[in-house]
Structure 1
Amino acid sequence: MDFLVGTALIVLPAQHQVPLALATAAVKGLQGLRHRRKLRRAASSSGGMLEGGGLSEVQLEWRDLTCTLAGKKGGSSRLLLNQVSGCAAAGRLTAIMGPSGSGKTTLLAALANQMPFSPRVTLRGHIAANGVPLQASKVRSGYVQQDDLFYPQLTVRETLLMAAELRMRGQGGEEERRAHVEEVIARLGLAQAADTRVGDAKTRGLSGGEKKRLSIAMELISRPAVLLCDEPTSGLDAFSAEKVMGVLKELCSDGHTVLASIHQPRSSVFALFDDLILLADGEVVYSGPASAALPHFEALGHSCPTHYNPAEWLSDLVAVDYSSPETEAATKERLRGLVAAWRNDGAAVPGAEAVSGAPDSAAAEAVLAPPSRPRCGLGRQVALLFKRSLRQVLRDKATNIGRASSQVSSAAVFAAIYWRMRRSQSSIQDRMGLLQVSAVGTAMSSLIKTLNVFTREKTLVGRERARSGYGVLPYLLSKLAAELPLGAAFPALFACLVYPATGLNPRPARFASFLALLTLEAMSAQGLGLAVGAAAPTTEAALAIGPAVILVSIVFGGLFVNARNVPGPLKWLPHTSLIKQAFEGACVNEFKGARFELDERGQGTASGDEVLQRLSFGGSSVGGALANQGRIMVFYWWLTYNILVRRQARYQPLLPPANEES
């Protein structure tokens, strides 16, 4: 159905395109409204876990987790996790340690039910919360990933308030949500930075430790019972790392179940751990109280030297040394012995039986009630996202100043080259050249900016959508509305400078048409950038694909290849060229009704209409060019919508162990 609608937007006449686009948006809105009503009915009938801020204690358990990565082209498969079992108890800080490639992130992603889907990966085993299978428990959990992604121009308070408005709608009033945000800010030690912008490479903002604490705060907004953190100290200095881990330790005292992977922490951080899971090559080497880890390995003949960081010693103990064949064989043999010893004698570790104890039935019942997390309405989503997008756009001074400077410098260069063009025969070519480079420059400026920003933003949007924050349609509508003012301002700046300086048609109506053509072209180029950015896997790929598409658009833009000479199978390409629509409209705007001086021999083109006939623009109009450009813009936005919907994150399903399948 979506494919047919998109095709119709390209093929139908201009007068039918806007009604069709509005009708399509209305259908999507009604579908979303129906879906939200279902969510609200389900939420009201469930009772709502954690309503009013209560926190049910949850014990997270997993048994025989095995993750297999199939080899390419029939190659041998690799075990990322091999029958990993363990437990994380409420009120205790459980750390997952191990060398690089040991399976820490894989285990956390599996427990968070956020392991990216791959047809080559198989995940098997059991995960339960208070004895209830995780898929059926609906336990509320938070997952803090390694990279901290935020809108850099928003402050800490604005970021958390936005998350609360989107994810806590229906859970108390606005004052209650604001109070909860202030409580989270104070709990995470962010009070002094509450009104500081998050920042990025261009804008000074939060420190690395503050960003990590903000990531944790974002998950605490929904009051999770279980908090999973992947490398929360990665990239932080020792002081900031200890402060972040101290925050996680304090959360445990509130009854949260906290599980964090960490790589070689300092000794003071290691002392904060209640329980420790030590992994190596996808195998469990130790799982139990952190205080019992060193005695366990000492009993196996491996003693930690005095005054040595136990975390570093443990990581070195289970690491494989590949510096030579001899050391590789020796360390692999040692690791096999440690894994075998744990499998044989692990239950005898003091305290391990308490960590893996079975929950009572009352605790299991507490998990069965699904949490109430209805989205706010479509109109509310658009309003909130519009406010955020507008702040992000208007506060990004570095980008705005850069774009404005680019427009001014381009206008200055073009004005110097085409200064006060006369009505001579040679000025005909000059005018066509100026109109073409104006169209190309406007499109490229909008495209490159969009590609640079959106390819990073879409990852953040994907995470927010995974948290049931909002839908694709309100996101795109709000983005279009927020970026429209500046999207029009930069082409207008260029036009106001270059148009009078170069001696183009001085009539006010012609200038207004020129401005409208460049503005709408900039919006089409933004739509192209969004579509390419949504489809491309990386910023580098998007920056390679986008200009290539524009290059094709330039070739079929009306100046280099006459429409009459385009080969039959490619006749459709000029109709999709946003450069052609801008150039064609600008040529009609400039040449229609114009008169030119003949050369000294009385030869040449005296009428601008003859120029249009030569370009195959004789039957064109400015209004037709604007309508075609609008059609292309709508198509690219429709394409972006469908790409984002179809590329919603997919996660690896948890299958039962192979020996339990019927």
Structure 2
Amino acid sequence: MERQASGSDRLDAVIDLIGPHTTDIVPIDLHVDKLSYTVTDVPGSWWQKITNIQMPWEWMEKGKTTEVLKDVSFTAKSGQLMAVMGGSGSGKTSLLDVLACRTSSGVVTGDVYLNSVVRTKTILDSCAGYVRQDDRLIAFLTVRETLIFVAQLKLPRTFNRAMIRNRVDLVIAELGLTQAADTKVGNDSIRGLSGGERRRVSIGIQLLILPSVLFLDEPTSGLDSFTANSIIKTLSRLASKHRTIIMSIHQPRFDIFNTVDTMMLLSKGSIVFNGPAKEMVNYFTSLGYPCPEHMNPCDYYIDLTTVDNTSPEREDRSLAVVQRLHEAFKSKQEEHTVVDLNKQEAIDTDVLKGPARWSKVLFNTLQGKRVTEDDTLQNLIDAMERQRASPGLGIQFFILFRRFIRVTLDDYLALLTHVIQALLMSLLLGLAYISLKLDQVSIRDWFGVMFMMSVMYPYMVILGLIGTCHEERRFIYFELQDKLYHPAALYFAKVLSDVPFHLVYVLIYIIPLYFMAGLSMDAYTVCMFALFVGVSVFTSRCLAMMSAAILPTYQIASFFSQTLFSLFIMSAGFLINLRNIISETRWISDLSYLRWGFQALCLIEIKNLKFQCDEKSPSCVKDGNDALLTYALEGGELWQCALGLGGTMIFFLIVMFLGLRFVPQKPHNE
């Protein structure tokens, strides 16, 4: 399918696609020519093998090559709702992923055009939206808050607060969500929207940029028949406003079939029918496969084009039917190719005769720099992208920071759980070490309370935070895929939004235990003690977030962090005397932030103590320095402990950022 145009025509056509949107929808026809998609199950990188729980001897196994799509050609016209139908494994979702430039692997061949412009990811991101099969929404936000949050990140930075709110209100009204606008999204445990309303919110997120093309992966999945029909009617209404809407659907009921404008039926990656939905039954009837009376045509023809693997005989028979249907449609398609090409060429020529919709806008916004025919297509795309650029890193950080704070405050149950956890842990330890004495028998208890302060609550923090990060990955991965924000903005927002709550929890943990144990009331000692406990607990939070970022699997991240934490506990200097650690493993103690935190607390509280001592006893420990010598903690300075603790924390934070930046945060079950 040759679709070449002159230099100026191509530039104008691109401007027409990616120009600054008003409330008008730019009509775009999507043309697909001989599209094929081949996937090879490659071994992947080392961390993928670990997170997929593969053994080393499986790493070198050669993957199987599968042709997912085979010579797919069709045209999706603006103003129409197109349904891609087929059985499981027919290639429906893969087709949408390829069209939307969302494939992460495999080889794609063939051409895709938006009107007369070759599709690129940059252009597509500016004029198309993609709605996934399941809803990735934050349960604690309302419909309006959800849309405003996305709009602040997605719309051009030239949009002020009033313009953003108007766009959100427009989308809410268009989707019939006005009555539910201030209702929380909810989930299985939080009362909120119905399944159909959540699906409308997911669609609304993509409608914020007023896309001309909208892809939806099984939008009726998991919905009852009435709600599914309502969603399809909404999509049909959206399509009637000059949008091109392509959706995959598994088994639509008859009223949904009647609502769809164009139906495509896929089988084993090939088209066996594509045309007006109302012509599908007549087409198959002409081939000798009439739909039985009182049966849903969609159900019947999906069954007809699905390979039956229950027995070799049935498999051969069904494969023969599929092959015959594919060849019949291919012959029909070849007959109409020449006519369709001539007709489309005439349409493109007519479109390109006049000035482009956004040419004047472009010339006025490029600071007086005139665009000529000598400018490359990519330069023009880059220029237009700069004009409609999304908010910068600073604004992205501020928006994400507010969202993390808001979600944390609204999760009352989690807040209460953290408070009770810190308070209960403090009270239990306080009862165990209540009113410490200065006799010889109590010396070990002094070191015990310092050790328990260093490790008990941090351990609980790691367990809880990895689970939280795992839940957040459900929507973070897809927000990053949609380029809503930069990983750096997410990183700083996530880390810094934890700090206020971290300070509250640490104070709740420290205060009861500190007074119950009868520790020093000197102001400097109290402040330094609280500082080192706080940094030690926060370093544990960093360890948990790092593990979750570099190992996007809950089980593996939990195992990794707990194993590392256990090594740090054993080498901290309390369970095993530092002198007794063999030289080959002493480096673990030097890297253990728990050792540095424990040693710092001992230096702060124990170093200046005077113990009751019987002068006649040769093994009497007279003061804190002698006690520190017993545990091989003598000779250290607070600044060394601060350096070891802070260095470990910074290392965890750096690795966490690298994980967010370079390791796909895809949930393990996706």
Q: Give the TM-score normalised by the residue count of structure 1.
A: 0.85
1:220 counterpart letter in structure 2: L
Contact 1:517 1:585 in 2 (8 A): yes
Shift of 1:216: 0.9
- SS for the counterpart of 1:78 is strand
Report what 2:104 is aligned to: 116
Determine which of 287, 291, 300 is the counterpart of 2:274.
Answer: 287
Question: Who is 1:607 aligned against?
Answer: 623
Other-structure match for 2:653: 637
Gaps of 5+ in 1: 1-41, 651-662
Report the CA distance shift for 1:508/1:569 in structure 2 as closer, same or farther (over 3 A): same
- Offset at residue 293 of structure 1 (A): 0.9
Instruction: Give the partner amino acid of 2:438.
Output: R
Query: Is 1:330 the counterpart of 2:317 in the alignment?
Result: yes
CA–CA distance in structure 1, aligned partners of residues 336 and 293 of structure 2: 22
* CA distance, structure 2, for counterparts of residue 354 and residue 310 of structure 1: 31
Q: Is the 8 A contact 1:57 1:225 kept in 2?
A: yes
The answer to whether the Cα contact below 8 Å between 2:473 and 2:665 also exists between their aligned partners in 1 is no
* Runs of 5+ unmatched residues, structure 2: 1-10, 43-60, 359-376
Q: Whole-Å Cα distance in 2 between the matches of residues 649 and 59 of structure 1?
A: 33
Classify the secondary structure of the residue corresponding to 1:360.
Answer: helix
Are residues 68 and 46 of structure 1, via their aligned partners in 2, closer, same or farther at CA, if it must alter by over 3 Å? Answer: closer
1:524 to 533, 539, 564: 539
CA deviation vs aligned residue, 1:335-361 (integer Å, no higher than 9, x gap)? 2221122112346799x9699955524
Q: How far did residue 468 of structure 1 move?
A: 3.6
Instruction: Please tell me the residue identity of whatever aligns with 1:125.
Output: G
In structure 2, what is the Cα distance between the partners aligned to 1:230 and 1:356?
31
CA contact (8 A) 2:488 2:661 kept: no
Match of 2:22 in 1: 52
1:225-250 C-alpha deviation (Å, 9 max, x unpaired) = 11001111111222222222222111
Partner of residue 363, structure 2: none
Q: 3-state SS of the aligned residue for 1:428?
A: helix
Cα distance change of structure 1 residues 58 and 363 upon mapping to structure 2, 3 Å threshold: farther
Which stretch of the first structure deviates more once superposed, 100-109 or 197-206?
197-206
The 10-residue stretch of structure 1 (452-461 or 595-604) with the greater mean CA deviation from structure 2: 595-604
> SS where residue 70 of structure 2 aligns?
strand
Question: Which has the higher mean CA deviation after the structures are superposed, 431-440 or 105-114?
Answer: 431-440
Residue 402 to residue 136, structure 1, CA distance change in 2 (3 Å): closer
Aligned partner of 1:492 in structure 2 is: 507
Distance verdict in 2 for CA 1:426–1:386, change over 3 Å = same
Q: How does 1:507-522 map to 2 (within 5 A)?
A: 507-522=522-537
TM-score (norm 2): 0.84
How far off is 1:273 after superposition? 0.8
Instruction: Work out whether 1:270 is the aligned partner of 2:252.
Output: no
1:146 is the counterpart of 2:133: yes
- Greater shift, 401-410 or 95-104, is seen at 401-410
Q: 1:167 to 1:197 in 2, by over 3 A?
A: same
Partner residue in 1 for 2:369? none
Please, which moves more after superposition, 551-560 or 136-145?
A: 136-145
- Judged with a 3 Å threshold, the aligned counterparts in structure 2 of structure 1 residues 544 and 423 are, in CA distance, closer, same or farther, namely same
| 1:128 and 2:98 are equivalent in the alignment | no
Q: Which residue of 2 aligns with 1:19?
A: none
Cα distance change of structure 1 residues 318 and 592 upon mapping to structure 2, 3 Å threshold: same
Give the deviation of 1:574 after TM superposition.
2.7
Partner residue of 1:39?
Answer: none
Matched residue of 1:271: which SS?
A: helix
1:437/1:199 Cα in 2 relative to 1: closer, same or farther (>3 Å)? farther
2:555 is aligned, of 540, 563, 566, to 540
Stretch deviating more after TM superposition (420-429 or 59-68): 420-429
Name the CA distance, whole Å, in 1 between partners of 2:546 and 2:406. 23
Query: Is the CA contact 2:550–2:659 (under 8 Å) kept in the aligned structure 1?
Result: yes
Q: How does 1:20-59 map to 2 (within 5 A)?
A: 49-59=19-29
| Distance of 1:344 and 1:95 partners within structure 2 | 22
Shift of residue 459, structure 1, vs aligned partner? 5.1
Which of 616, 619, 624 does residue 632 from structure 2 map onto?
A: 616
- Structure 1 pair 76–220 and aligned structure 2 pair: CA distance change class (3 A): closer
Cα offset, 1:76, TM superposition: 5.0
* SS of alignment partner, residue 82 of structure 1: strand
**Bigger relative contact order, structure 1 or 2 (CA pairs below 8 A, ≥6 apart):** 1
Which residue of 2 is the match for residue 69 of structure 1?
39
Tell me whether 1:196 sits opposite 2:196 in the alignment.
no
Structure 1 residue 126: Cα displacement = 1.1
- Verify the 8 A CA contact 1:108 1:230 in the aligned structure 2: yes
| Equivalent pair of 1:58/1:363 in contact (CA under 8 Å) | no
- Measured against aligned partners, the alpha-carbon deviations of 1:280-330 in whole angstroms (never above 9, x if no partner) come to 111111111111111111111112122222221121111122222222222
Q: 2: CA distance between counterparts of 1:266 and 1:544?
A: 46
Q: Output the CA distance in 2 between the equivalents of 1:153 and 1:343.
A: 50
Distance in 1 of aligned mates of 2:128 and 2:230: 22
Q: Counterpart of 1:158?
A: 145
The alignment status of 1:404 with 2:419, answered yes or no, reads yes
C-alpha deviation, 1:254, in angstroms:
1.1
Partner Cα separation in structure 1 for residue 479 and residue 342 of structure 2: 33
Q: Deviations over 1:79-104 (max 9, x none)?
A: 11111222211010000111111111
User: Is the 1:198–1:211 Cα contact (8 Å) retained in structure 2?
Assistant: yes
- Choose 177-186 or 495-504, whichever is displaced more: 495-504
- Distance across 2 between alignment mates of 1:160 and 1:232: 19
CA deviation digits over 1:494-526, x for unaligned, max 9?
111222223333444333323222221222122
Give aligned pairs, total.
603
Distance (Å, rounded) in 1 between the aligned partners of 2:584 and 2:135:
48
1:94 aligns with 2:64: no
Matching of residues 403-442 of structure 1 within 5 Å? 403-442=418-457
Are 2:280 and 1:310 aligned? no
Shift of 1:144: 1.0
1:15 is matched with none
2:193 equivalent to 1:206? yes
Q: Alpha-carbon deviation of 1:171? A: 3.9
Cα distance in 2 for partners of 1:542, 1:355 equals: 58
Tell which deviates more after alignment, 429-438 or 153-162: 429-438
* Aligned equivalents of 1:522, 1:152: Cα separation in 2: 28
Q: Distance in 2 between matches of 1:649 and 1:403?
A: 26
Contact 2:611 / 2:624 at 8 angstroms: preserved in 1? Answer: yes
Instruction: Return the letter of the residue paired with 1:55.
Output: I
Instruction: Report if the CA contact (8 A) 2:15-2:357 is conserved.
Output: no
Question: For residues 626 and 197 of structure 1, do their structure 2 counterparts lie closer, same or farther at Cα, with a shift above 3 Å needed?
Answer: farther
Partner Cα separation in structure 1 for residue 229 and residue 534 of structure 2 = 51
Equivalent pair of 1:375/1:468 in contact (CA under 8 Å): no
CA 1:348/1:264 → structure 2, altered by over 3 Å: closer, same or farther? farther
Return the alpha-carbon distance in structure 2 between the equivalents of residues 158 and 251 of structure 1: 22
Instruction: Please list, as runs of the form range in 1=range in 2, the aligned pairs for 1:451-462 lying within 5 A after superposition.
Output: 451-458=466-473, 460-462=475-477
Shift of 1:136: 8.1
Question: Is the CA contact 1:347–1:353 (under 8 Å) kept in the aligned structure 2?
Answer: no
- Among 238, 242, 248, which residue is 1:251 paired with? 238
34, 54, 71: which is aligned to 1:83? Answer: 71
Q: Secondary structure at the match of 1:279?
A: strand
SS at match of 1:446: helix
Q: Compared with structure 1, are the counterparts of its residues 459 and 71 closer, same or farther at alpha carbon in structure 2 (3 Å cutoff)?
A: closer
Does the CA-based 8 Å contact 1:87-1:355 persist in structure 2? Answer: no
Contact 1:169 1:376 (C-alpha < 8 Å) held by counterparts: yes
Q: 1:464: how far off?
A: 2.7
Q: Does 1:389 align with 2:404?
A: yes
How has the CA–CA distance of structure 1 residues 349 and 302 changed in structure 2, closer, same or farther, with 3 Å as cutoff?
A: farther
CA separation in 2, counterparts of 1:467 and 1:620? 50
Asked if 1:216 corresponds to 2:203, the answer is: yes
Whether the 8 Å contact between 1:288 and 1:355 is mirrored in structure 2 is no
